């Protein structure tokens, strides 16, 4: 935060504020008696078109509210913050614990100048900054004046470029590696306007930033293939993304040109060896919901969820789960436009877990759902649905812990024992 400047001309502002805050002060002191565990900082966000002459911030700008702006009271010791957005009048009341606080408003790169003036709620003298909330001073009013900079309204879009180095790239952070030197161009899908270009690694490993003044909902992201590392490709290229101001991130995933399923071990003559299966649970995709599920109705079978037999490694307290992966000829949008359910059965074809498909897509266009027990089976799990390639196909990974399935080791230690 830029240093807070104190101006002698603003001594008069304190007196002007006295009448405004007197009623609020009485209310705050009534609700925050001596010895209370919380205090109040009331922030008045105000907008100035330019830096006022003679530092007359109050006289020039106090009648212009800065509404919808998020302000934070940041504890200078713990760096924990209490946040809130201003109302139509430009005000927000933050209830906080006793301590010393700094006030944070719009990012510095969006502001030409800002000025903060804090005073005790009873219309007393200017409060020392950073401000202190304690028993003797439980209520403060802070006027936060903002002069927008040229970047006001721009949204910084973080572009991340990663290599998919292991299965589960869309949900497992350990399966990706950042890569530098890849040029990415973002274009509005509605207007074909080029919104910006950046090269990964400019801001941090695998990252670069494009500042957009007008952020469209849908953009096309094109990777300059001449900048790709050898043996890697962007598929599809360009690719469509949904971008939101509150999570303005574009994720570019590069796959190996020879990517494919790792072949199972063979017997030395090129004949794959069978994988020993300890448990195999059938699964199906149903058109409908779990509430009206008819296990005998027509359904699209999914790959069974399996547990591989063998000597377990790792933590002896690990609980084994059955998992399976299937690609189906439906888009994620198709699933969200209808009503579908995933059901997992036991070896006797009894449904033991079921989950309705629905939710909000993440940045990669994927959704995750829960699989809940059926008829007291105790089986629980999740399913992750992610678009494949151009999105016409969806990959479904289903994972279930069947009820009563033992840990990898026969003994499970009690935490802390």
Domains of the chain: 8-148 (2.60.40), 155-256 (2.60.40.10), 277-401 (no CATH)
Q: What integer is the mean pLDDT of 345-359?
A: 90
Q: Which residues contact 172 (CB under 8 A, 6 or more apart)?
A: 166
SS3 of residue 374 by DSSP: coil
Q: Please report the sign of the dihedral spanned by the C-alpha atoms of residue 358, residue 361, residue 366, residue 371.
A: negative
User: Residue 114: which H helix or E strand, with range?
Assistant: strand 111-120
Least Cα distance to 58 among 128, 117, 126, 123 occurs for 117
The region of weakest confidence among 139-153, 155-169, 376-390 is 139-153
The confidence band for 191, taking pLDDT boundaries of 50, 70 and 90, is: confident
Per-residue pLDDT reduced to its tens digit, 83-125: 888 888 899 999 999 999 999 988 876 777 889 999 886 566 7
- Tell me how long the chain is: 417
The confidence band for 310, taking pLDDT boundaries of 50, 70 and 90, is: confident
| Separation CA 212–CA 280 (nearest Å) | 50
Q: Which phi and psi angles does 124 have, rounded to 5°?
A: -75, -170
Q: Would the pLDDT of 342 be above 90? A: yes
User: What residue has token string 């360009």?
Assistant: 238
In eight-state DSSP terms, residue 109 is G
Least Cα distance to 69 among 17, 98, 110 occurs for 110
Per-residue pLDDT reduced to its tens digit, 237-262: 888 776 655 556 788 889 888 754 44
Please, which residues bridge with residue 41 across strands?
Answer: 94, 140
Are 70 and 83 contacting, i.e. CB atoms less than 8 angstroms apart?
Answer: yes
Return the percentage of the chain with pLDDT > 90, whole number.
25
Alpha helices for 279-383 (secondary structure H): 332-337
| Separation CA 106–CA 212 (nearest Å) | 17
What phi-psi label fits residue 398: left (phi over 0), alpha (psi between -120 and 50 degrees) or beta?
A: beta
280 compared with 169, residue with greater pLDDT = 280
User: What residue has token string 């504020």?
Assistant: 17
pTM of this prediction? 0.38
The region of weakest confidence among 32-46, 120-134, 355-369, 375-389 is 32-46
| Separation CA 266–CA 205 (nearest Å) | 39
| Separation CA 70–CA 62 (nearest Å) | 18
User: Residue 24: which H helix or E strand, with range?
Assistant: helix 11-31
The confidence band for 341, taking pLDDT boundaries of 50, 70 and 90, is: very high
Per-residue pLDDT reduced to its tens digit, 23-75: 333 333 333 333 445 789 999 999 998 888 888 998 999 899 988 888 999 99
Are 184 and 252 contacting, i.e. CB atoms less than 8 angstroms apart?
Answer: yes
The torsion of the CA quartet 49, 50, 51, 52, rounded to 10 degrees, works out to -70
Number of H helices, E strands in the chain: 3, 25
Q: Which two tokens mark 370? A: 């829960």
Q: Which residues contact 148 (CB under 8 A, 6 or more apart)?
A: 47, 106, 110, 111, 112
Are 306 and 324 contacting, i.e. CB atoms less than 8 angstroms apart?
Answer: yes
């Amino acid at each position: 935060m830029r240093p807070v400047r104190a101006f002698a001309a603003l001594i008069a502002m304190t007196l002007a504020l006295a009448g405004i805050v007197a009623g609020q002060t009485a209310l705050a002191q009534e609700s925050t008696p001596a010895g209370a565990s919380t205090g109040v900082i009331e922030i008045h966000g105000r907008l100035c078109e330019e830096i006022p002459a003679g530092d007359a911030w109050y006289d020039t700008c106090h009648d212009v509210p800065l509404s919808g702006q998020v302000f934070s009271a940041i504890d200078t010791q713990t760096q924990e913050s209490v946040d809130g957005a201003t109302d139509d009048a430009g005000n927000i009341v933050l209830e906080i614990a006793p301590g010393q606080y700094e006030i944070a408003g719009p990012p510095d790169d969006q502001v030409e100048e800002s000025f903060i003036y804090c005073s005790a709620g009873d219309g007393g003298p200017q409060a020392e900054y950073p401000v202190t909330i304690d028993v003797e001073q439980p209520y403060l009013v802070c006027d936060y004046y903002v002069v927008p900079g040229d970047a006001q309204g721009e949204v910084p879009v973080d572009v991340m470029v990663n290599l998919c180095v292991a299965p589960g790239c869309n949900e497992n952070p350990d399966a990706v590696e950042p890569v530098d030197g890849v040029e990415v161009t973002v274009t509005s899908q509605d207007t074909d306007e080029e919104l910006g270009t950046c090269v990964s690694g400019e801001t941090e490993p695998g990252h670069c930033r494009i500042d957009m003044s007008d952020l469209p909902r849908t953009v096309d992201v094109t990777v300059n293939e001449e900048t790709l590392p050898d043996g890697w490709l962007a598929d599809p290229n360009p690719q469509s993304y949904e971008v939101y101001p509150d999570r303005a991130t574009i994720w570019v995933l590069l796959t190996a040109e020879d990517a494919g399923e790792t072949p199972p071990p063979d017997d030395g003559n090129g004949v794959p060896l069978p994988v020993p299966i300890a448990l195999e649970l059938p699964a199906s995709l149903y058109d409908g919901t779990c509430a009206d599920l008819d296990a005998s109705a027509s359904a699209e079978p999914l790959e069974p969820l399996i547990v591989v037999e063998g000597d377990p490694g790792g933590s002896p307290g690990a609980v084994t789960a059955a998992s399976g992966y299937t690609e189906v000829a439906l888009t994620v949008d198709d699933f969200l436009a209808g009503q579908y359910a995933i059901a997992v059965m036991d070896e006797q074809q009894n449904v033991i877990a079921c989950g309705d498909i629905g939710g909000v897509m993440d940045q990669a266009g994927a959704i995750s759902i829960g699989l809940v027990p059926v008829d007291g089976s105790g089986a629980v799990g999740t399913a992750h649905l992610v678009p494949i390639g151009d999105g016409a196909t969806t990959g479904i990974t289903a994972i279930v812990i069947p009820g009563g399935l033992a840990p990898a080791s026969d003994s499970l230690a009690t935490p802390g024992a």
